[in-house]
Chains A and B, each alone.
Chain A
């Protein structure tokens, strides 16, 4: 079992550009959550996807959007990048929304905005 995988590992963009990050959940998991971890801070919840729908959203602007595919993999899109979007983006998968199951985290994608 490969666990949660994310791509790419690192990414460098310039202000105003758009970026797409990808996540493949752990085998058997159907729910994907995305978190942003700025340097020196704890992760902050962006949103969660279940059955291809956004089920819950954190305090992030509409520039942050996502998608979940029928195979449960997910993408995080960020438009009009700002310097403050530089962070480690973590994907977590679990078995079902509103569940008591552990969220398993991937290694993250390090985004740098210049």
Chain B
């Protein structure tokens, strides 16, 4: 079955510290992988995506993620966290009943990030 697991429900870091949010997926075919961020009262904003090629992908707001097929993981990282990064982060895999591309996103339960000043 297709699924996404985010093992950490809640993470707290100090401003300026590094960050890594974990994501593991289960998907039979080549995965299309995404990280989204959701601030309170707002919709989801795409941080970055992986379709193919270089396994280290760069995104917006200084985030990056690394695809590791052998570990079925797609962890999100940031070298120095800012107070404005406090939000909910969702990892997702794109799935499709058709060949090529994706139709739906399968999300993990999310990781809530708190940032201490």
Enumerate chain A interface residues (CB-CB to B < 8 A): 4, 33, 35, 40-45, 48, 55-56, 58, 90, 92, 96-108
B51 CB–A CB distance under 8 Å: yes
B43–A108 touching, CB < 8 Å? yes
A58 in contact with B43 (CB, 8 Å): no
Chain B residues lying within 8 Å of A107, measured Cβ to Cβ, are 41-43
Q: Name the CB-closest residue of B to A47.
A: B104
A98 contacts B101, CB within 8 Å? yes
CB closest chain-A residue, reference B51: A100
Could you say which residues of chain A place their CB within 8 Å of the CB of B102? 98-100
Q: Which of B11-19, B73-81, B106-114 contacts A (4 or more CB under 8 A)?
A: B106-114
Interface residues of B (CB under 8 A from A): 4, 32, 36, 41-46, 49, 51, 90, 92, 96-110
CB distance from A83 to the nearest CB of B (A): 21
CA distance A105 to B108 in the complex (A): 17
Residues of A close to B101: CB separation below 8 A = 96-101
6 contacts between A and B (CB under 8 A): A40-B109, A42-B4, A45-B104, A100-B32, A100-B51, A105-B43
A102 and B110 form a contact (CB under 8 A): no
**How many Å from the CB of B41 to the closest CB on chain A?**
7
Chain B contacts of A97 at CB under 8 A?
A: 98, 101, 103
Residues of A within 8 Å of B92, CB to CB, are 42
Set of chain B residues within 8 Å of A98, measured between Cβ atoms:
96, 98-103
Q: Among B32, B44, B99, B110, point to the contact of A105 (Cβ < 8 A).
A: B44
Closest A residue by C-beta to B49: A102
The 4 closest A-B CB pairs, nearest first, are A42-B107, A105-B43, A45-B104, A98-B98
Q: A98-B96, A99-B101, A100-B101 are in contact. Are A45 and B106 (CB under 8 A)?
A: yes
Asked if B103 and A55 make an inter-chain contact with CB atoms under 8 angstroms apart, the answer reads: yes
Instruction: Contact check, A44 vs B44: say whether CB atoms are below 8 A apart.
Output: no
The distance in angstroms between the C-alpha atoms of A104 and B49, with both chains bound, is 13
- Minimum CB distance partner of A99 in chain B: B101
Residue of chain B at shortest CB distance from A46: B104
